[in-house]
Structure formats: C-alpha cells, structure tokens
Amino acid sequence: MNLVRCLPQFRLADREMTVLAEREAWTRSQIEAFQLKRLNELWLQATEFVPYYQQLKNSLRLPDTFCDLNEFRESVPLLDRLVVKTQQEQLLSRKRARGHWGASGGSTGQPTRFFRDQAAHNESQNYHYRMYQQHGVDFFDRHAYVWGSFNSYAPGLGGLIYRCTQPVKDRLRNRLRLSAYNLNRHALAEYVGRMQRFQPRVVWGFSTAVYLLALEAEARQIKMPSLKVAVLTSEPAFPHMVESVERAFDARVVRQYGSTENGVIAFDTPDGTMRVREDMTLVETVANNQGTYDLVLTRLNNPSFPLIRYAIGDATDRPLETPAQGFAVMGEIIGRTSDVLVTKNGNWIHPQRLAPVFDYVMEIRRYAVHQDAQGKVTCLLELTTSDTPFDTHSLHQQLTQVLEGFPVEMKVVEQIPVTRSGKTRIIVSEIVSMQNPSRETLAAVTERA
C-alpha cells in the first residue's frame, strides 16, 4: 500500500468519492438548489471582502443574495479576461485562505495569473479523481503525464523549489512525467520506451502530445497492455486523434475540459457524453454573433479569488443540454485549436512551450504566432497599453533559440485578428496542422528529426 495515501487529504478524497457519485444522480431541481446555495455563499464573501465585487455591487445596486439563478445571470455583468489579467489585486479577497498564485497556460494567447486557496484546489482534485474512478481507475494507480514544465521556467525561488520538489512528488504519487515541450522522433521513442518499462494504467496529457506518442508506439509496434485510460486535455481531441490513440494503446479515450484557473469543468463519462461538474462550476452558454456559444463560468469554491460570470474565451458548438436528472451535457469545445511548430532541425514544438516565453511579460496582452511553409515565424504582439514603448529584443532571442535557428519576426500590432469563434488561434503552422494532419506530413517531419 502506498503510505502517501494515508495522508489526511487523500483519506478525505477517498470518502468524498461516494458523495460525488451520489450528486451525479441528482434531479435538475436538486442541482440548481445546490448551485444557488453555493453561489450566494460565494457572492456574500466576494461583496464583503473583494474590492472588485464590492464596487460592482455598489455601482449596480446588486442584491445581497439572489432568489434564483436567472436573477443572477440577468443582474451580474460578465467578467472579462483582461480584468483578471490586469487587476489581480482587486479580485483578491482580503480574507483569503492559505494558498498560492498560479498562471494559466496561455491557450488563448493571453496568459493570466490567479490565486487559488488550498481547500479549493483539493476539492478540484477530488473531481479529477472521480473522473478516473468512473472509468475504473484509482487515483494512485500508475500515471504517465505528457505535460509541460511551465513552472520550471519560473524565475527566482519559486522556480527553484518546483524543480527540486516535483520529481519527489511524482515518485511518491506513482507518476511518470514526460515533457510535451520536446516532441521529436528521438524523444517520442524514448518516452514510449519509458512508458513500456513503467507500465502506467493511465496516460494523461495534451491531446496533441498523446496523439503523437500513440503514433510512435504504433509505428514501433509497441503494445502497452497495462494502459486502460488515455485522457486528452487542454486542446481539442479531433476524431482522427481519438481513433489513433484508441487503436495504438487499446485504451479508452476520455476527453477532459478544464482550465488552470477553474480546474476540472467537464469530462467524458462512461455513457459517452461530456458532463459538466455542476457541483463545482456554474456554466452558461451565451449565443454570439458567430453562430456558436461563448462559455461563461462561475467557479463555486474559490472565495479567495472569485471568478464570477467569467468569460473564459472558449466557445462550444451548441447550448448546454440540461436533462431532468444528472449533470448537464456539454457540446464540442472550439477555439483552442493550435498547431505544433517545427524547428530548423525538424523537431516538434508544442504550443505550450511558448507560454513561459510570454507569460512573465506583463506588457503583453495577447500574442499569436504564424509559421510559414519555409519555417519562418512571425509573432504578433498586442500590448496591454499601446502608448508604452516595448523592446522585443529579449523575446526575439528566446524564440530564435527555441526554434533552433529558424528566422523570427516580431510585430507589435494594435489588435490581433480573431477566429470565427471570436477567439485567437494562437499557433498556426503551414508545415504541420493538427486539425487534419496526413501521415505523410508527420512522417516527413519525423524523418527530418
């Protein structure tokens, strides 16, 4: 038995699984009553201790509590992502609990810092564990993570502590961590070999990275009978990706939708639908003028840094379906699609590899990257304040190094064009598109590597 499991937070998580399972069978009236109760508790704390919501309540003369969810939706305006990026101190509670600052991975081209208290983080993790349990996997089973090392790039003491402690935590938690930042053929072959030796029960990671890993395993005719579940997250999982991963790993594919600042929002359940964890997040789908639906989120369990009616920047292809019993069903997530970049040496660069380059530059509001068929990269920068001079020299040097010598051009623009969904597609490559890549294209890139 893993002794770490005896720690209080994991013993509590074990007990919490029964509670979370029972909620999944609630009626619509039970779900909405639970949401309203948690929402009013959150709103009371926000309007008393959080400057942004204190001012909002006073200026709009909003009520102390809401009679129903419709009153809440009609009364409270949307929280724009730019506010979260530029006014963190105004969103931070004066009565915040113990916790720490984090940062989103920048999938919108607009990385954002936020504060999460430890209790909210632990609760979010329980929902993650419940996802595994629904698919017959225990949260202490062996996991292979195909993920970025974003925090390892953090400057100062915080980055140093992460680099020292994360390997120890992974070992205690039965986790094999593989970097999604390096996806060349040699790295993928090494990862497949390490997975085969580790024998994980779950592989979890960026949709693109897991997909490329599956292609490599299939090309080398390597089987992994220990694998039961492959979780594709953070990016769209197109049908060709799901099919390839299932075929190569002979495992069930589970698509997970979440964000760093909101935690787990929805995931595939055994009945084949993607269900929203409505006991943690109040999700709205708001029709836009593009024929899609913007996602608006209210996280119900982080009063230390409340995000209430937060317009996250993602969209879905249809409104939420709310059955008479059970959690709401979410449509396909759109707007997060990005391509891998290719270096001069033929290596693949996952989009998240660029997040550490931009996230610590507060002058940048949004960015977008385009790679042409010859490999040249053009980076568009939309600044937070257009009247402030900005030197792009350091960014240029970092990107040139990441791309192993391909030319880089930096352009400061007034506004970056958005896609049909109303959201920037931040990484576009004319060499490799992950939306519909041919095997011949992927093979050509890997041969160069």
Which pLDDT tens digits describe the chain residue by residue (449 residues)? 566 777 787 888 888 999 999 999 999 999 999 999 999 999 999 999 999 999 999 999 999 999 999 999 999 999 998 888 889 999 999 999 999 887 765 555 555 778 989 999 889 899 999 999 999 999 889 999 998 765 555 556 666 766 777 777 777 778 899 988 777 778 899 999 999 999 999 999 988 889 889 989 998 999 999 999 999 998 878 888 899 999 999 999 999 998 888 889 999 999 999 999 999 999 999 998 878 899 999 999 999 999 999 998 888 889 999 999 999 999 988 755 567 788 888 887 877 777 777 766 767 877 888 899 889 999 998 887 767 778 888 889 888 988 988 999 999 888 776 543 334 457 888 886 655 554 455 555 545 44
pTM: 0.76
Contact predicate 371/377, CB 8 Å: yes
φ, ψ for residue 403, nearest 5 deg: -85, 5
Contact yes or no for 202/143 (Cβ under 8 A): yes
User: Position 382: which residue type?
Assistant: E
Contacts of 313 (CB under 8 A, 6+ apart): 81, 108, 110, 335, 423
The DSSP symbol for 270 reads T
* SS3 of 331-394: CCEECCCCCCEECCCCCEECHHHHHHHHHCCCCEEEEEEEECCCCCEEEEEEECCCCCCCCCHH
- CA–CA gap between residue 111 and residue 109 (Å, rounded): 6
